[in-house]
């Protein structure tokens, strides 16, 4: 025994209580928190929001729901029926009612618990080009079919939607990059390193 140190005694009751807590902890903590049953642990999980649920958004959302290391926390769409369908799909997958459903994308961008964002920006560009009668080429390999008929009024509205989504994407990227740099330089954790390939 080292000099100057007093031996510590532990009562039998205290020992049994501590042992019981250690044994019961894995039974109380959900497997999803521990990264079991095919789910990543919360620190390894990418949290995201989906903006736009129509057309491509539906398939993309379903793809993200199938990823064990991804969790969708919020959905956003202007159309109430699509918004409800998106929320129901996400809630159904996770067996809860936790998915936030909002009409205003700024509510999603203001959240600090979202790591990634799925935007319907390419789809609005395709719709906009279709309404203007401009052919859309995929990597100069082939021309995509028009999604809608030519419509000058709709074209102008789609320009507004496309620009709003583009600015939202730029703002989100800027905030996301700033947060990653803050983690790296201010908090000195490995968040930025985990994001790099």
Q: What is the mean pLDDT of the chain?
A: 79
Mean pLDDT (whole number) for 83-95: 95
pLDDT in tens, 98-117: 999 998 888 888 888 888 87
Would you list the domain boundaries of the chain? 13-39, 40-195
- Token digits of residue 100: 């936030």
Give the C-alpha separation, 67 to 87, whole Å: 17
- Token digits of residue 59: 């398939």
Regarding predicted confidence, which is higher, 32 or 188? Answer: 188
Mean pLDDT (whole number) for 24-37: 51
Chain centroid to Cα 22, Å, comes to 33
Backbone angles phi, psi at 47, to 5 degrees: -95, 140
pLDDT in tens, 55-81: 667 877 887 898 888 899 999 988 899
Give the C-alpha separation, 113 to 44, whole Å: 14
pLDDT band at 83 (very low <50, low <70, confident <90, very high): very high
> Given this model, what pLDDT does residue 125 score?
81
Give the C-alpha separation, 132 to 130, whole Å: 5
Task: With H, G, I as helix, E, B as strand and everything else as coil, classify residue 69.
Answer: coil
pLDDT band at 122 (very low <50, low <70, confident <90, very high): confident
Mean pLDDT (whole number) for 42-54: 81
40-195 under CATH 3.40.50, yes or no = yes
């Amino acid at each position: 025994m080292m000099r100057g140190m007093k031996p510590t005694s532990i009562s039998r009751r205290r020992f049994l209580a501590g042992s019981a807590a250690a044994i019961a902890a894995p039974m109380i903590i959900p497997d999803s928190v521990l990264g079991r049953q095919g789910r990543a642990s919360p620190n390894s999980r990418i949290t995201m929001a989906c903006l736009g649920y129509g057309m491509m958004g539906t398939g993309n959302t379903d793809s993200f729901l199938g990823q064990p290391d991804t969790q969708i926390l919020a959905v956003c769409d202007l159309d109430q029926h699509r918004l409800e369908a998106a929320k129901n799909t996400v809630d159904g997958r996770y067996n809860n009612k936790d998915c936030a459903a909002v009409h205003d994308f700024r509510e999603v961008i203001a959240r600090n618990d979202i790591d990634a964002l799925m935007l319907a920006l390419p789809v609005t560009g395709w719709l906009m080009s279709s309404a203007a009668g401009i052919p859309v080429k995929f990597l100069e390999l082939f021309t995509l079919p028009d999604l809608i008929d030519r419509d000058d009024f709709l074209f102008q509205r789609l320009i507004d939607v496309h620009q709003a989504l583009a600015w939202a994407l730029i703002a989100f990227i800027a905030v996301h990059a700033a947060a990653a740099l803050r983690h790296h330089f201010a908090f000195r954790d490995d968040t930025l390193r985990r994001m790099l390939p």
